[in-house]
Amino acid sequence: MQGAALSVRDLSASYGPVRALRSVSLDVPEGGVVTVLGGNGAGKSTLLRAISRTLAFHGGSATGTVHFDGKPVQAHGADRIVAQGICQVPEGRQVFARMTVEDNLRAGALGSRGDRTAKSAALRRVHELFPVLAERAHQRAGLLSGGEQQMLAVGRALMAEPKLLLLDEPSLGLAPMMATRIADTIREINSQGVSVLLVEQNAALALKLATTAYVLEVGEVTLSGNADTLAASDEVRRRYLGVVDEDAAADASQAAAKHPVLTRWEEAR
Ligand SMILES: Nc1ncnc2c1ncn2[C@@H]1O[C@H](COP(=O)(O)OP(=O)(O)OP(=O)(O)O)[C@@H](O)[C@H]1O
| Cα distance between residue 234 and residue 211, in whole Å | 18
User: Ligand 1: which atom is nearest the Cα of residue 58?
Assistant: 1
User: pLDDT tens digits for 114-146?
Assistant: 778 888 889 999 999 999 999 999 999 999 998
Q: Note the pLDDT of residue 264.
A: 41
C-alpha of residue 110 to centroid of ligand 1, in Å: 28
Residue 42 — pLDDT band, cuts 50, 70, 90? very high
The residue with greater pLDDT, 185 or 93, is 185
Tell me the average pLDDT of the chain. 86
ipTM of the complex: 0.97
What CATH number matches the domain at 4-232, 3.40.50.300, 3.30.450.20, 3.10.450.50, 3.40.120.10? 3.40.50.300
Q: Is the pLDDT of residue 263 over 50?
A: no
Give pLDDT, residue 7: 96
Q: How far apart are CA 148 and CA 95, in angstroms?
A: 10
In what order do the strands lie in the sheet containing 71-72? 18-29, 4-15, 61-68, 71-72
Asked whether 202 lines ligand 1 (CB < 6 A), one says no
**What pLDDT is attached to residue 102?**
93
Atom 3 of ligand 1, nearest CA residue: 15
Residue 138, burial from CB neighbour count under 10 angstroms (0-12, 13-18, 19+):
exposed
In angstroms, the CA 195 to CA 157 distance is 13
Nearest 5°: CA angle at 183, between 81 and 120? 50
Q: Is the CB of 119 under 6 A from ligand 1?
A: no
Cα 149 to ligand 1 centroid, rounded to whole Å? 23
Whether ligand 1 lies within 6 angstroms of the CB of 159 is answered as no
**46 Cα to the center of ligand 1, angstroms:** 6
Instruction: Compute, in angstroms, the gap from residue 160 CA to the centroid of ligand 1.
Output: 27
Nearest residue (by CA) to ligand 1, atom 12, is 20
Of 79, 91, 25, the residue nearest 52 (C-alpha): 79
pLDDT band at 174 (very low <50, low <70, confident <90, very high): confident
Looking at residue 251, what is its pLDDT?
Answer: 60
Cα 193 to ligand 1 centre (Å): 31
Give the model's pLDDT for residue 67: 94
Q: Are strands 18-29 and 4-15 parallel, antiparallel or unpaired?
A: antiparallel
User: How much is the average pLDDT of 36-40?
Assistant: 91
How much is the average pLDDT of 61-75?
89
pLDDT at 243 over 80: no
Q: What percent of the chain has pLDDT over 70?
A: 87
Q: What is the pLDDT of residues 149-167, one digit of tens each?
A: 999 999 999 998 999 999 9
Geometric angle at alpha carbon 262, from 261 and 268, rounded to 5°: 90
Between vectors from CA 215 to CA 15 and to CA 34, what angle results, nearest 5°? Answer: 100
